[in-house]
């Protein structure tokens, strides 16, 4: 019994095709720990459960069928909303990726859905012919094609799992609010650790170069340089994402540049890097660091829920020439200062 | 607060003559781009379109078109270097 209970929470043990595993709707410590690790980029790409059919409560042949992805973070956030419900969960093989991203890649898609319906023998298990898909899955699924090939009609449910209970109880009616993607401060905040960790990894090579330069440099890089640098990594990967709609302008690169500039200018001022002696350093940092912050913030477009390909391309075509030329010039000034101090 | 990215860039096109007013696009669009007054779909807020492709994928009569792709700078840069289509494969 305990083996079966732990099934859905322990990916390695799932996959018994003969019986349908029952999914608990409570959240355990290991789920919270697992989610926290994923947010920090630990085992993020391998946090998955086995695809297939699962049961919640005691479903029968008239119970609704919810379709979702095999990313465990997705699965956990869905199942905890299902307490008190009797339903089926059809989990597609999205290679451990969430519904929206997987739909964009086509793994949460028409072909996989048709295939999974056949593999699980869903048509034999239920007597009705309705599937509830998360709305964001529509990017990869063609509802009319699924209906044509399998006889199952697709109902697009709410965007967020926490509306699913209300959606089912209202007879599958989604409000406009349920249909709209949001991007709240909390949504943005929980994405920032991964951005920070990735930027920190890149920074290690920067530190390596500076360490080597310090061996030959007349002015060595020290703690004050580290602080101003670390600050723009934070403005680009944390501050700009969290305060996104409150920072003036529309382009992410612009927003990142602005926050990076404020931080760099404050540091340059307090360190006295605008005196004639240190002017090269001060100007150098003012050219490099806000641009770096702009670049990091621009990469957050991929985490956002509202940027289009056309919009991001336009933003990049305008901002990248500034970012690159400003950075190159700034690096040259800093190097001159380092060697002729 | 509604987020807004750049204006006048979305490639979304509606062929109103083909539209059969099934309402699927209004159902799947995550940004409320469409409205359906008088049994005919209209593009109400084109600047909110993120070119995800959900509407074109689910339009049974092919009345909609959009150049769907990822709105992610990191993926686009990676695509430039590898010569492939940008896709959400970060950290892989």
**How many residues would you count in chain B?**
92
Q: Name the pTM for this structure.
A: 0.88
Q: Which residues of B touch A159 (CB under 8 A)?
A: 30
Q: Which residues of A touch B2 (CB under 8 A)?
A: 245
For A248, which residue in chain B has the nearest alpha carbon?
Answer: B4
DSSP A239: I
| Assigned token pair, B60 | 């049974």
Q: Which residues of B touch A181 (CB under 8 A)?
A: 30-31
User: Would you give per-residue pLDDT tens digits along chain A (341 residues)?
Assistant: 333 334 444 443 444 445 889 988 988 998 998 998 889 888 888 899 999 999 999 999 999 999 999 999 999 999 999 999 999 999 999 999 999 999 998 999 999 999 999 999 999 999 999 999 999 999 999 999 999 999 999 999 999 999 999 999 999 999 999 999 999 999 999 999 999 999 999 999 999 999 999 998 999 999 999 999 999 999 999 999 999 999 999 999 999 999 999 999 999 999 999 999 899 999 999 999 999 999 999 999 999 999 999 999 999 999 999 999 999 999 999 999 998 86
Residue A46, pLDDT score: 84
In this structure, are residues A49 and A11 in contact, taking their beta carbons and an 8 Å threshold? yes
> How many angstroms separate the CA atoms of B87 and B78, rounded?
9
As a 3-state breakdown, chain B gives helix, strand, coil percent values, each rounded to 5, of 30, 10, 65
For B74, which residue in chain A has the nearest alpha carbon?
Answer: A299
Minimal Cβ distance to A139: which of B10, B32, B57: B57
Percentage, residues of chain B above pLDDT 90: 66
For B33, which residue in chain A has the nearest alpha carbon?
Answer: A180
Minimal Cβ distance to A306: which of B3, B11, B67: B3
Residue A293, pLDDT score: 98
CA distance B74 to chain A (A): 5
For B50-87, give the secondary structure using H, E and C.
CCCCHHHHHCCCCCEECCCCCCCHHHHHHHHHHCCCCC
In this structure, are residues B71 and B31 in contact, taking their beta carbons and an 8 Å threshold? no
Residue A233, pLDDT score: 98
Residue B74, pLDDT score: 87
Query: Is A301 in contact with B57 (Cβ distance < 8 A)?
Result: no
Compute the half-sphere exposure of residue A134: CA atoms within 13 Å on the CB side of its CA. 29
In this structure, are residues B73 and A301 in contact, taking their beta carbons and an 8 Å threshold? yes
The residues, any chain, with a CB within 8 Å of residue A161's CB and separated by 6 or more, are: A74, A77, A78, A81, A134
Query: Is A181 in contact with B68 (Cβ distance < 8 A)?
Result: no
CB pairs under 8 A between A and B: 141
H helix runs in chain A, sequence order: 2-5, 29-39, 72-79, 99-105, 110-120, 122-125, 143-150, 164-169, 176-179, 185-189, 192-216, 223-234, 240-242, 252-270, 279-298, 309-340
Minimal Cβ distance to A156: which of B27, B60, B69: B27
> How many angstroms separate the CA atoms of A153 and A145, rounded?
9
The neighbouring-strand residues paired with A90 are A53, A67
For A102, which residue in chain B has the nearest alpha carbon?
Answer: B88
Q: Residue written as tokens 């190097």?
A: A335
Residue B79, pLDDT score: 87
Minimal Cβ distance to A302: which of B11, B30, B75: B75
Minimal Cβ distance to B72: which of A41, A97, A312: A312
Q: Does B50 touch chain A (CB under 8 A)?
A: yes
Q: Which residues of A touch B11 (CB under 8 A)?
A: 310
**Tens digit of each residue's pLDDT (9 = 90 or more) over A55-87:** 999 999 999 999 999 999 999 999 999 999 999
> How many angstroms separate the CA atoms of A255 and A233, rounded?
14
Compute the half-sphere exposure of residue A216: CA atoms within 13 Å on the CB side of its CA. 9
CA distance A282 to chain B (A): 29
- Interface pTM, i.e. ipTM: 0.92
In this structure, are residues A231 and A267 in contact, taking their beta carbons and an 8 Å threshold? yes
Query: Is B30 in contact with A136 (Cβ distance < 8 A)?
Result: yes
Query: Is A135 in contact with B50 (Cβ distance < 8 A)?
Result: no
Residue B89, pLDDT score: 65
The residues, any chain, with a CB within 8 Å of residue A99's CB and separated by 6 or more, are: A68, A69, A71, A74, A108, A134, A136, A137
Q: Which residues of A touch B63 (CB under 8 A)?
A: none
| Assigned token pair, A27 | 């959240």
């Amino acid at each position: 019994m305990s083996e079966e209970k732990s099934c859905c929470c322990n990916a390695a043990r799932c996959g018994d095709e003969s019986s349908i595993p029952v999914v608990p709707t409570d959240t355990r410590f290991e789920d919270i720990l697992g989610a926290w690790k994923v947010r920090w980029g630990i085992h993020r790409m391998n946090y998955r459960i086995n695809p297939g059919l699962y049961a919640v409560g005691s479903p029968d042949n008239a119970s609704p069928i919810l379709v979702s992805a095999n990313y465990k973070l997705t699965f956990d956030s869905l199942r905890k909303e299902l307490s008190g419900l009797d339903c089926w969960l059809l989990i597609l093989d999205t290679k451990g990726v969430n519904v929206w991203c997987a739909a964009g890649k086509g793994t949460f898609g028409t072909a996989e859905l048709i295939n999974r319906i056949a593999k699980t023998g869903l048509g034999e298990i239920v007597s009705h012919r309705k599937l509830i898909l998360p709305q964001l899955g529509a990017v990869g699924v063609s509802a009319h094609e699924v209906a044509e090939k399998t006889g199952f009609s697709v109902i697009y449910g709410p965007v967020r799992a926490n509306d699913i209970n209300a959606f089912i109880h209202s007879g599958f009616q989604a409000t406009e609010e349920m249909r709209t993607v949001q991007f709240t401060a909390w949504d943005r905040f929980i994405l920032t650790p991964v951005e920070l960790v990735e930027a920190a990894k890149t920074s290690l090579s920067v530190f390596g170069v500076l360490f080597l330069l310090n061996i030959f440099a007349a002015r060595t890089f020290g703690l004050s340089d580290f602080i101003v640098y670390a600050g723009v990594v934070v403005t680009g990967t944390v501050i700009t994402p969290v305060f996104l709609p409150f920072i003036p302008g529309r382009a992410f690169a612009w927003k990142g540049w602005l926050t990076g500039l404020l931080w760099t200018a404050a540091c340059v001022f307090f360190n006295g890097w605008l005196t004639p002696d240190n002017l090269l350093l001060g100007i150098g940092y003012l050219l490099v660091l806000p641009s770096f912050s702009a670049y990091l913030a621009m990469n957050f477009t991929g985490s956002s829920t509202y940027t289009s390909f056309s919009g991001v391309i336009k933003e990049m075509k305008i901002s990248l020439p500034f970012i690159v030329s400003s950075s190159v010039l700034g690096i040259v000034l800093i190097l001159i200062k380092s060697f002729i101090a | 607060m509604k987020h807004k990215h750049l204006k006048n860039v979305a490639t979304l096109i509606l062929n109103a003559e083909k539209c059969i007013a099934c309402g699927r696009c209004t159902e799947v669009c995550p940004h409320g781009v469409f409205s359906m007054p008088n049994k005919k779909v209209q593009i109400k807020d084109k600047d909110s379109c993120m070119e995800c492709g959900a509407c074109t994928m689910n339009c049974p009569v092919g009345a909609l078109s959009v150049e769907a792709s990822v709105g992610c700078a990191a993926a686009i840069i990676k695509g430039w270097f590898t010569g492939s289509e940008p896709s959400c494969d970060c950290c892989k």
